[in-house]
Amino acid sequence: MQARTPIDPYAAGSATIPGAAAGRAALAEGAPALPPRVSWGAIIAGAVIAVMIGLMLNVLGAAVGVTAVDAVQGETPDASTFGIGAAVWLLVATLVGLGVGAYAAARLSGTADKTDAALHGVGVWAIGFLLSAVLLGNVAAGAASSVFTTASSLLGGAAQTAGSAVSGIASQVSPQAALDRARAGLSSPSEPARMTTEQRGAEITSILGSGIAGGGLSDAQRQRLAALVAAETGIPQQEAAQRVQSYEAQAQQTAREAAERARRAADAAAIGAATAAYAVFGTLLLGAIVSIFAARAGARDLYGVRVAAGARRTA
């Protein structure tokens, strides 16, 4: 039985010309170029098919995920299970869509060359992902616009309400009373024992705020704070100084813990971003591989077509 040899349709016309092989090996300058072997219509059609199949499968996956929620019996899977299932389903839907789209593009292009078919599959892969990115970008932009509009309305209403409230309060406050309170505050005694509770509380708050902002209390601030605490609580100043030191140690410990949590959060965010980037890269790579193999499978078999045509003519 004779081995089957694929026929190149672009070389069929030159097979009957003597020396055609040598002519193809070294074409003269100015010789006519080979006809283009790309079918953009087939590529675009395959990309649209791939996107729509992926969208259809993702909608099906969303329906299955919502069906799995059981708020009555309390048997709903946890968030991690939902996340893993959604990621796997998204990957499968993407690969299936690209495979079908690449196969359709290669079939519609009419090529019998496996390399040409693979390149058509790569075109479907590229355009399909670009279309998906544009669609997702439009959805995200619409959601962001809606959120921005809602936030602007809420902030505008809050600002108007606050302005009305301030206007109402300002109309009830006498300017002379405000000046009297300011003068009393500026002329208040500096001796903690002669100060009122409100004055001591205000100064304690001010010292603590400046100490936290500066990274720690100075010796003068510690002494002043101890005197204020002693006068406010009626305890000896030495005990008040111990309270101040204990508070400062607790505040420093809290600051260190907050810094550690911030570093851990930043590290977790970096790891998450790297994982997401690797996942996107892996998805793109797998999509390209599936598209190439599916397109090669969709290439036409001209030998089988010609055998069938010859059988029909002899019949």
Does residue 242 sit within a domain?
A: no
Range of the domain at 69: 39-158+280-299
Q: What's this model's pTM, rounded to 2 decimal places?
A: 0.58
Q: What is the pLDDT of residues 148-189, one digit of tens each?
A: 666 566 556 655 665 565 455 445 545 555 555 555 555 556
Does residue 110 sit within a domain?
A: yes
Q: What is the pLDDT of residue 308?
A: 53
Does residue 23 sit within a domain?
A: no
The token duo for 40 is: 């953009």
- The C-alpha atoms of residue 137 and residue 199 are separated, in whole angstroms, by 56
Domain count, the chain: 1
Q: What is the pLDDT of residue 14?
A: 42
| Closest to 103 in 3D by CA, of 290, 305, 303, 306 | 290
Contact between 98 and 39 under an 8 Å Cβ cutoff? The reply is no
The token duo for 205 is: 């708050």
Chain Cα centroid distance, residue 181: 53
Does residue 285 sit within a domain?
A: yes
Does residue 186 sit within a domain?
A: no
Contact between 217 and 211 under an 8 Å Cβ cutoff? The reply is yes
Which segments of the chain have a pLDDT < 70? 1-36, 71, 74, 138-190, 212-215, 302-315
- The C-alpha atoms of residue 25 and residue 40 are separated, in whole angstroms, by 29
Does residue 87 sit within a domain?
A: yes
Q: What is the pLDDT of residue 32?
A: 60
Q: What is the pLDDT of residues 196-219, one digit of tens each?
A: 778 777 877 777 777 766 667 777
Does residue 11 sit within a domain?
A: no
| Closest to 11 in 3D by CA, of 30, 25, 31 | 25
Does residue 153 sit within a domain?
A: yes
The Cβ of residue 102 has, within 10 Å, a number of other Cβ atoms equal to 35
What per-residue string of b and e applies to 263-302 under the rule 16 or more CB within 10 Å gives b? eeeeeeeeeeeeeeeeeeeebeeebbebbbebbbebbbeb
CA distances 196 to 182, 206, 225, Å, are 15, 15, 15
